[in-house]
Amino acid sequence: MSDYSKYIWYNSNIIPWEEANTHVMSHVLHYGSGVFEGIKCYNTSKGPAIFRLDDHIDRLFKSANSYRMKVDISKEEIINGCKDIVSANNLSDCYIRPIIFYGYDTLGVNPKDCPLNTAIACFFWGAYLGDDGLQKGVDVTVSPYQKISYKAMPTTAKASGQYMNSLLSVTEAKNRGYDEAILLNAEGDMAEGSGQNLFYIKDGIVHTNDEKSSILLGITRDSILTICKDLNIESKIHRFSLDDLLSADEVFFTGTASEVTPIRSIDGNLISDGNVGELTLKLKDYYMNIVLGNNDQYSNWLSLLNHNSPVNSL
């Protein structure tokens, strides 16, 4: 299996992967009552480093708070847990998945006294939309499934159950031969991909949307907006339509797993000439230089692994 490594961090202990089990009657299995993060560790010029780790864990706790989860473990412990589990698995380039979820106590929708469990896994995961898609762009379709509204659920929270919406959209798209889906929101404007934020470029201006479009406020999205500001590239945040995408000069996805992935076509309609746009490529290369530790201006976005990791005691 691809998503496998030797150890998992589970409730403050590093244990063998096979022993990180939970009961089949756990609340999370029945109601999706968990929150999680997707984080990347890169093998940088200064050694393995986790990209924007503090920001990801801050969002993890904000997601938990949105669902009134009373987390009794500190942010610092989870941050160190992310570093320690990467070291324990002797990985230098990997995906990290922290999750906080309700375990077994009651089967009622109200979790009542269900215990909160915290786990952190890490494993190698290649390009989310494929190496070819990362380089040449992906072909996407508009999903028949609408993105859940921020008025119905806190879409700024990265919660397990909410991703059933994404599962429906991406599997339907794959079944029709597309690489990924993009979803409209309740107002008929663009929301996001099944697990990515959307950007488009028109006349040299970079556009994206915000939480009022029922999106997750992605860490990579924020990174690209920061890069645009630092490079004096004009950016605008507003609602936009499918027509805006179809008439754009360039369109791309952002996400931890997707990084900066160009969109080649939407429902068979090529974006511009179908080739990766110049500004998309510039932002993509600039972003990759940052995550690989080749730009000291953003060194505060990289967290090196702990030197005194418990890996040596395993």
Query: Which residues form the catalytic set?
Result: 158
Q: Within 195-310, where are the H helices?
A: 219-230, 242-246, 278-291
Q: What's the CA angle centered on 164, arms 18 and 97, to 5 degrees?
A: 40
* Cα–Cα dist 147/108, whole Å: 27
Which are the contacts of 213, defined by CB distance < 8 A and separation ≥ 6? 185, 189, 190, 191, 192, 239
Task: Using the Cα atoms of residue 149, residue 151, residue 152 and residue 158 in order, give the sign of their dihedral.
Answer: positive
| Tally of residues, the chain | 314
| Residue/partner pairs of 171-175 with CB below 8 Å, 24 or more apart | 172/143, 172/144, 172/145, 173/140, 173/141, 173/143
Which are the contacts of 159, defined by CB distance < 8 A and separation ≥ 6? 32, 34, 35, 36, 63, 66, 67, 153
* Cα–Cα dist 101/81, whole Å: 16
Structure tokens at 6: 């030797």
Which are the contacts of 233, defined by CB distance < 8 A and separation ≥ 6? 204, 206, 227, 279, 283
Interior/surface letters 228-251, b for 16+ CB within 10 angstroms, e for the rest: beeeebebeeeebebebbeebbbb
